Structure 1
Amino acid sequence: MIYKMKLWQKICISSLIASILLFAVCGIITTVSGHKRNLQAEENQAVWLAGQMKAEVERAYREHKDLTAPFLNPLIPEDVCFQVYQGETRLYDGFGREPETPRYDFGYEIAREPLELVTIQKVNYLFAEETLDLEGGAVESAVNGKAAPGAVAAVAGSEPAGKVMPGASAAAAGSEPAGKAIPGASAAAAKTEPARLVLVKDLSDVYARCNAQLQTLFLLCGILSAVSALIMVTASLIITVPIKKINEAVKIVSDDYYAYRLPVTGTDELNELSANFNVMCEAIENNIRNYKFAIDNFIHEVKTPLTSIIGYADMLKSYDCTGECREEAVDYILTQSRRLNSLVKKIMGFLVIESKQVEKKFVRLDEVVNMACISIRVQAEMKELRIEYQNRPEAYMYGDEELLATLLVNLLDNSIKASGEHSQILIGAVLREDAVEELSVRDFGMGIPEEELDKLTEPFYMVDKSRSRSQNGIGLGLSICKSIIQAHNGRMEFSSTPGEGTTVRVHFPYEDYQYLRQAQDELFEKADIEG
């Protein structure tokens, strides 16, 4: 089901659930912790009040032999009752309720705790117990034989009984106790069995406050759910508006309208995505434009010599063609055929390089330069050019040696075409721990205008078309160089000044070369040790 939902719906529902859960959990934790603090305060108050009543009961018994007089104090809270026990015999009961009998008898008596929470008839009571000294000496606790500071039990019941039972002890005579004296219980029993005072406090108010807080919390959760749902729906719709625009833009671009651009109004991730979408559309538009330009140039480069070849071939078929005319026609047909053959070879080479997976091997820079210089020696000698290069036997790189030589041949070929006679071409290299970081080719020819530098690597692009065609150029050399350097994870940059010359710098990933060289050396060392 969730997979079929819209993005704004997923954002809305997930945010709503998270906010409600967070509010509910925090509210419950706060309510429960407050309830525990209230119970702790009630327990502390009960222990303190039990201690005060213990002193009053002991004083009243010593002076008047009366256990009930302290319980008639009007300052005692209405929700507090007292019981007095002599052993297991109740001498006084102001509570009138008994804890419920356990459903199961496990065969042993459950020990009484000094402080307990007990439930009687679904009402919670706090029981605090103190030992009494009715003969002037400390009476031992019914639990461990020592005077206990207090004990608590929670019990559910109704209002404590406030009647005096017939046959009450003489110690209780002459007064109307708040509770009832147990028949047959006498003060003399205090001499043989330990006595204890039990304070019983009704905690209904504490639990009622906790329940009221929980009900308020649930009500607030409901209100929060409604408000949050409204806010989340609005926010989700606003957040997903750019996504809808991008989706619509994709459909528009898929209909071959590559000039469409998305508005960018901010710096958030969605606006950044819109900006990247615009960059992608621009790149596609440029690639299509370049593709059309390359096709037009290719058609022009092929059509021009073919037209001439057809024209001269028709002239050869005519009977009016003289010997000199025939020789001129044959020479032109041969020249244009060679040019077409060169064009096809370069296009095939370009396509092969684009699709070729380069196998990177250890290559010496001097060997690559020597191979390139041998290939263009004839062109350089025709113009009496001097190519200068300082041998660097330690310089190395990793790549395809033939492709790297082709790269350098194309760069040198362009430099030769741009240079005048008796000029020079400089080949330089920058090394990092013997790894080639940069390879440069500099000429002192006519130079290239700055606005033309970014177009040099486009297929079939020529700065001076008439000069390039006269030198059998077709504008694919630097495109091939770009493909080769990209296959070697490098980059190429141009700097030129009209009338002074051009410098081409090729940057190689020398850090990768150093890593490969180190790994190779370690492998050889390991092989030598094992051998």
Structure 2
Amino acid sequence: MKLWLKVSLCAVVMVTLSTTACSLLLLLRSGQSNLNLAIDNALANQQIRAASWQSAMQTRLDESYGETAARSLAKYLMGQLGDSSTALLCGTDVIYNTTTVSPEEYLPVTAEAQQYIIEDIDDKTMLIAGSAATVNETRYRIYVIKDITHVFTGIRELAYSFAAISLCVILAAGAVTVFITRALLKPIATLKENTSLIANGVYGNRVTIAERDEIGELGEDFNRMAEAVETHIQELRDEAERRTMFMSALTHELKTPMTGIKGNAQTLLATKLTEEEREDALYAIDAACTRVERLSQKLMQLIVLRQSRNMLLSPVPAAVLIADVQAACAEQLRIRGLTLKTANDMGLVMMERDLLADLFINLIDNAGKASRRGDIIELNAHGGIISVTDHGIGIAESELDKLTQPFYMVDKSRTRKEGGAGLGLALCDEIAHLHGARLIINSTPGIGTTVSVVFDAEGAQYEKANQ
């Protein structure tokens, strides 16, 4: 059953119960009031007639009157003082009765106090009121018989009217409740439709927030949930795409050395070579194996880094890090004829010392490959940013976003000639993320490149040297 229907039914049931209760209460009060009025009128009528008759009898009746004369006088006076609803009895004898009812059968009065009874007689509802009166030691009974059928008929008609009015009220309330409930719950139906769309893979839909009530808050929560789901799905898609590209690039990178190994091995097996040719083939196989080994080591390092999200960092002075990097790069820089210039105003940096040193060694190695003999490479630590700058060939802006992708190489022939595998910057990017930092690359072709590790990103910690 739909929610709007449940709410509407509950509202209709409540309206029905309340309307019925009010109608019954009004009906009972009104009916009882009308009945009491009819009873009071009948009792008053009976009391007046009984008192008038008794007074007249006592005034006119003489002791010389015999029983027959007394009864004749009683009948005469009742005829004068009574009406079509009165009756007079003496003992069991009916002296005067203009009605069709024998009241003594229903109300055998035995005392002078007024009594009454309501009885259904011949499809009519009759009210019989009576009392006893003693005149000259003779006991008489005076009755008033009133037809009060109209009172109960009025109550029934009033009940029918209340029922009709209640039915109209219930139907109107039901229609209004359905309309209002559907209007109020329409945003929930919209949420349901959007939920179905998300379940079917459509993640871009959002609901419009019209009111700032509980349903509006639910809509806001839904939009946040949809945004989170869409972001997560996009991340999964991006990750799947990266893995596909990674495997494609890995396959491509392995294909070249494996082809060389296989070709040289087949040559050694199938062809009679001179000693020099055999040595060249073996050297080629060794170089290809070395490249595969280096590639596997870098891959393993990259995988380990991506899994090491809870690495323990400790405070290390930036000067110590720079000294480690200088010592590690000194020989390669000397061979290439390059100079490393450093500057530092940072204090402590939260780091894993060996990993962060490896990051900057990689960056300086890349800078050295892009530089000319005699160039200066700068390693600067300032304001939460440690950067490596070279004045080499530079990189086109269109290539910058791809540099941290595994196996991506701007100049593949030069990279392979230098013994690279295209994983250096990917490793650097992972190391930076482990330290809560960002890797930012700025480059201008023909002028040089600056790679910065920004430690003031969320989660990174550093301290200025003068603090």
Give the TM-score taking structure 2 as reference length: 0.59
Aligned with residue 408 of structure 1, among 350, 360, 368: 360
Structure 2 CA distance, aligned partners of 1:428 and 1:20?
77
Q: Residue type matched to 1:454 in 2?
A: D
> RMSD of the alignment, in Å?
4.6
Q: Residue type matched to 2:410 in 1?
A: V
Q: Residue type matched to 1:470 in 2?
A: K
The answer to whether the 8 Å contact 1:440/1:504 transfers is yes
What does residue 441 of structure 1 align with? Answer: 388
What does residue 442 of structure 2 align with? Answer: 495
The answer to whether the 8 Å contact 1:16/1:232 transfers is no
Matched, 1:364 2:291: no
Q: Residue type matched to 1:339 in 2?
A: R
Q: Give the match's secondary structure for 1:440.
A: strand
Q: Give the match's secondary structure for 1:374.
A: helix
Matches for 1:226-265 after TM superposition, within 5 Å: 226-228=178-180, 237-249=189-201, 264=205
* Cα distance, 1:451–1:120 mapped onto 2, change above 3 Å: closer
Structure 1 CA distance, aligned partners of 2:9 and 2:257?
74
Aligned with residue 409 of structure 2, among 444, 447, 462: 462
Q: Give the match's secondary structure for 1:358.
A: coil
Matches for 1:253-332 after TM superposition, within 5 Å: 264=205, 282-316=234-268, 320-332=272-284
Deviates more, 1:275-284 or 1:327-336: 275-284
Aligned with residue 12 of structure 1, among 4, 22, 26: 4
Structure 2 CA distance, aligned partners of 1:412 and 1:18?
75
Structure 1 CA distance, aligned partners of 2:282 and 2:445?
39
Structure 2 CA distance, aligned partners of 1:18 and 1:413?
76
Q: Number of residues paired by the alignment? A: 338
* Cα distance, 1:514–1:498 mapped onto 2, change above 3 Å: closer
Alpha-carbon displacement from aligned partner over 1:449-508 (angstroms, at most 9, x marks no partner) = 111111111111111111111111111111111211222222222111111111112222
The answer to whether the 8 Å contact 2:347/2:462 transfers is no
Aligned with residue 300 of structure 2, among 341, 345, 348: 348
The answer to whether the 8 Å contact 2:376/2:390 transfers is yes
What does residue 373 of structure 2 align with? Answer: 421
Alpha-carbon displacement from aligned partner over 1:226-280 (angstroms, at most 9, x marks no partner) = 435665787655543332222222xxxxxxxxxxx66658766677876766665
Judging by fraction of residues, say which structure has more helix. 2
Structure 2 CA distance, aligned partners of 1:417 and 1:349?
22
Q: Give the match's secondary structure for 2:379.
A: strand
Q: Give the match's secondary structure for 2:37.
A: coil
Aligned with residue 224 of structure 1, among 176, 187, 203: 176
Structure 2 CA distance, aligned partners of 1:379 and 1:220?
92
Structure 2 CA distance, aligned partners of 1:502 and 1:468?
16
* Cα distance, 1:224–1:448 mapped onto 2, change above 3 Å: same
* Cα distance, 1:124–1:478 mapped onto 2, change above 3 Å: farther
Structure 2 CA distance, aligned partners of 1:460 and 1:498?
21
Matched, 1:453 2:400: yes
What does residue 383 of structure 1 align with? Answer: 336
The answer to whether the 8 Å contact 1:362/1:398 transfers is yes
Structure 2 CA distance, aligned partners of 1:18 and 1:373?
80
Alpha-carbon displacement from aligned partner over 1:146-185 (angstroms, at most 9, x marks no partner) = xxxxxxxxxx943665779669xxxxxxxxxxxxxxxxxx
Matched, 1:374 2:374: no
Structure 2 CA distance, aligned partners of 1:426 and 1:377?
13
Q: Give the match's secondary structure for 1:407.
A: helix
Q: Which has the larger radius of gyration?
A: 2
* Cα distance, 1:404–1:12 mapped onto 2, change above 3 Å: farther
Q: Give the match's secondary structure for 1:496.
A: strand
Structure 1 CA distance, aligned partners of 2:406 and 2:360?
18
Paired-residue identity, %: 27
* Cα distance, 1:472–1:13 mapped onto 2, change above 3 Å: farther
The answer to whether the 8 Å contact 2:347/2:463 transfers is no
Unaligned residue ranges in structure 2 (runs of 5+): 23-27, 53-157, 210-218
Structure 2 CA distance, aligned partners of 1:330 and 1:282?
48
The answer to whether the 8 Å contact 1:121/1:157 transfers is no
The answer to whether the 8 Å contact 2:298/2:423 transfers is yes
* Cα distance, 1:337–1:478 mapped onto 2, change above 3 Å: same
Q: Give the match's secondary structure for 2:441.
A: strand
Structure 2 CA distance, aligned partners of 1:157 and 1:515?
96
Matched, 1:158 2:37: yes
* Cα distance, 1:473–1:124 mapped onto 2, change above 3 Å: farther
Q: Residue type matched to 1:388 in 2?
A: K
* Cα distance, 1:286–1:480 mapped onto 2, change above 3 Å: same
The answer to whether the 8 Å contact 2:206/2:226 transfers is no
Q: Give the Å deviation of 1:430.
A: 2.7
Q: Give the Å deviation of 1:221.
A: 2.8
Alpha-carbon displacement from aligned partner over 1:281-306 (angstroms, at most 9, x marks no partner) = 55444433332332222223222223
The answer to whether the 8 Å contact 1:494/1:502 transfers is yes
Q: Residue type matched to 1:396 in 2?
A: L
* Cα distance, 1:455–1:486 mapped onto 2, change above 3 Å: same
The answer to whether the 8 Å contact 1:446/1:500 transfers is yes
The answer to whether the 8 Å contact 2:404/2:426 transfers is yes
* Cα distance, 1:400–1:223 mapped onto 2, change above 3 Å: same
Aligned with residue 506 of structure 1, among 453, 456, 460: 453
The answer to whether the 8 Å contact 1:358/1:399 transfers is no
Q: Give the Å deviation of 1:398.
A: 1.3
Q: Give the match's secondary structure for 1:395.
A: strand
Q: Give the match's secondary structure for 2:381.
A: strand
Structure 2 CA distance, aligned partners of 1:218 and 1:470?
90
Alpha-carbon displacement from aligned partner over 1:310-339 (angstroms, at most 9, x marks no partner) = 333444557743333233334333333322
Unaligned residue ranges in structure 1 (runs of 5+): 33-118, 126-155, 168-207, 250-260, 432-436, 522-531
The answer to whether the 8 Å contact 1:242/1:271 transfers is no
Give the TM-score taking structure 1 as reference length: 0.52
